[in-house]
Amino acid sequence: MEEKLFQWVDQNQNKLISILQSLLRQPSIASTNTGIEECAQLMMRIMQDAGIETNLYRTDGSPILIGTIQGKSDKTILVYGHYDVQPPDPVELWEHDPFGAEIVDGKIFSRGAIDDKGNIMCAINAVRSFKACGKEFPVNAIFLIEGEEEVSSPSLPKFLIDHKDLLKADALLGIDDAVQPDGKIGRPKVVTGEKGNCGVELVCKINREFHSMYAPLIVNPAWRLVWALSTIKDQNEKILIDNFYDTIRENTPEEHKIIEMMDEYWNGDDWLIESGQSEYLGGVTGIKALKRLYFEPTCNIQGIKGGYIGEGRKTIIPEKCSVKIDFRTVPGQTSEQIVDLLRRHLDRRGFHDIEVVYTGGSRWFRSPVDHPAALALRKAIENGFGTPPSVMVTFPGSGPGDTFEEILNIPQVFTGFGPLGERAHAPNEFISIDFYLKGTKTIICFFEEFARVQEKGDRS
């Protein structure tokens, strides 16, 4: 059956590309609520036209779309994605219209091309192919497509709680990622976990701005932040917050083995070339680099704000300065714990005047790497891309996986079809037409494989 469905994809690629372009040309920026309603309505029409019975649900924030399709298997897969996108800023760095969906050299350039409109459209295309070819759908599917992923999904937990019965499934498939570099064209991933995320803002302020001639007497918030930051992390990438590492859970031998398998094909040169570095921090390579990326917590400065940075001179002591930091957490750590440790750390060093504001986050999670959805996805990627996938026990980034785990309590597996250099969250984001079509074929295979692996109870 796959061969006929694959042929349909190839013969109808212009139509599939055109549908994606229409979706990409509709802005849907969650942080500014730009075009969200219009995009939700457009996505609903696209899903319904593909043969997915779809309803739009109101929340306190952006609408959530739920689509269902009945299959011949009694098993159900929950497919997760999002229609919201990051802002296109800085717009001046784009070489193409951020919402133009322009095709150049086999690539579709647009904000959301990968994150996540192009990716989730692969699953919708897969359903469309079964309908177009008159084939019975192999498994029951529920699509959950939200519009707030880029702002930490604030409406999602309540929605999941309120509609738990509607979302009963045997596993979740999330499609929102890019391929793993392997020195060639890259390998799609099979990811069964995520790091957690803890965001904080450190704020230091005085009553008003002063002339800089009073610097010998008046506290400078910028210096206070610089001194405080120097106590949080050293130049060897070690996080210096008191007791920061104490509760981290040791990784299992099986988890280490999967990382070691990745070293057989992982090529770190791609990220070095993109960043302009000659080596990674600390000179790490191979397994050491992979274990640092996937198993170790991080402390990252997102940005620093304060004082005068305009043209010319303005000799002042700034009234207020702030810095935004995100921590990626690993098993054994929580956001609440990180915020508490940071507060205590700063107080012990005399930084009582620096406010610690928690800005949001998510908890880490890990699902079994051998559950049926993960096994089905491995086979599907081999069929769709002609290469074995990169199997990962966790993802170095964060998402709503912890929310699904806590409320729905089902195993999860994530993948995505962003090509190397896809520039998600950056100017000139793109998806290649080749990967868009291969991603569609992969999800066709996944639906069929998930029905088969469930029927056999195969966990080998």
Residues 212 and 172 in one domain: no
Q: Enter the pTM of the model.
A: 0.85
| Same-domain pairing of 55 and 190 | yes
Specify the residue for token string 């499934």.
Answer: 169
Domain count, the chain: 2
- Kindly report the backbone phi and psi dihedral angles of residue 407, in degrees, each rounded to the nearest multiple of 5, phi listed first: -95, -45
Q: Give the list of residues 6+ apart from residue 250 with CB closer than 8 angstroms, or none.
A: none
- Let me know whether 14 and 118 are in one domain: yes
Domain boundary among 345, 362, 379: 362
- Concatenate the DSSP letters of all residues of 104-116 into one string: ETTEEE-TTTTTT
- Shared domain for 186 and 237, answered yes or no, is no
Are residues 443 and 392 located together in one domain of the fold?
yes
**From CA 449, how far away is CA 454, in angstroms rounded?**
8
Residues 341 and 208 in one domain: yes
* Residue range 139-156, pLDDT digits in tens: 999 999 999 999 989 999
Taking Cα atoms as reference points, which of 425, 368, 449, 457 lies closest to residue 177?
425
Q: Which of 339, 362, 385 is the last residue of a domain?
A: 362
Domain that holds residue 186: 2-194+364-456
Do 85 and 134 share a domain, yes or no?
yes
Tens place of pLDDT per residue across the chain (460 aa): 689 999 999 999 999 999 999 999 999 999 999 999 999 999 999 999 999 999 999 999 999 999 999 999 999 999 999 999 999 999 999 999 999 999 999 999 999 999 999 999 999 999 999 999 999 999 999 999 999 999 989 999 999 999 999 999 999 999 999 998 887 889 999 999 999 999 999 999 999 999 999 999 999 999 999 999 999 999 999 999 999 999 999 999 999 999 998 888 887 887 888 889 999 999 999 999 999 999 999 999 999 999 999 999 999 999 999 999 999 999 999 999 999 999 999 999 999 999 999 998 889 999 999 999 999 999 999 999 999 999 999 999 888 889 999 999 999 999 999 999 999 999 999 999 999 999 999 999 999 999 998 655 444 3
CA angle 164, 168, 172 (to 5 degrees): 110
The CATH number of whichever domain residue 201 belongs to comes to: 3.30.70.360
CATH number for the domain harbouring residue 17: 3.40.630.10
Q: Where does a domain end: 344, 362, 380?
A: 362
My answer on whether 52 and 145 are in the same domain is: yes
- Cβ-in-10-Å burial (0-12, 13-18, 19+) of 313 comes to exposed
In a domain, residue 244? The reply is yes
Domain membership flag for residue 259: no
Same domain, 315 and 357: yes
Residue at 324 is within a domain: yes
Shared domain check, 346 and 448 = no
